[in-house]
Amino acid sequence: MSAYASLYPLITYYLNRLNDWGLCFQHCKVCGKYFLAKSQRYELCSDKCRKAQALQNKREFDERTRENHYDLLYKNECQNWLNKINRAKNTSGFPADRLENIQAAFADFKKEALQQKRAVKTGTASPKEFTDWLYQQSNVIVELTDY
């Protein structure tokens, strides 16, 4: 029999009392400490941890916003290329070899865009570098499909 076994009734007693007082043990999401909380909704032990969590939330929010922004730009640019390629396809007399080149350029564009996106994510390139590059690509497709 464990030496602590005799403590069980005591522990049970206090856990019940905590329950009576509307308190429970919670695990702090930030520092990992256990603390007494008024309900299970409380996930942070102190003002310090609440501030840390708020800062983290803001950082994640900003990151997501930035990511959504260049993701959207990228998708728009893809659509722009597709529209221009389709228009070229539907233009009678548009040279087949040029169309082939354009489709190859589109594949390159997508490959390069994915690499740049990854670079932004890992911090080796800035979001602005990526969006500037995306804007330049609009001119590339315009020149390629000019007929």
In the complex, the smallest distance separating the C-beta of residue 38 from Zn ion, rounded to whole angstroms, is: 15
Residue 26 parent element (H or E): strand 24-27
Using rule CB under 5 A, residue 45 touches Zn ion: yes
Using rule CB under 5 A, residue 113 touches Zn ion: no
Straight-line distance from the first to the last Cα atom of the chain, in angstroms, rounded to the nearest whole number: 90
Using rule CB under 5 A, residue 28 touches Zn ion: yes
In the complex, the smallest distance separating the C-beta of residue 62 from Zn ion, rounded to whole angstroms, is: 23
Q: Which is nearer to Zn ion, 31 or 82 (CB)?
A: 31
Helices (H) and strands (E) in the chain, counts: 4, 2
Footprint of Zn ion (CB under 5 A): 28, 30-31, 45, 49
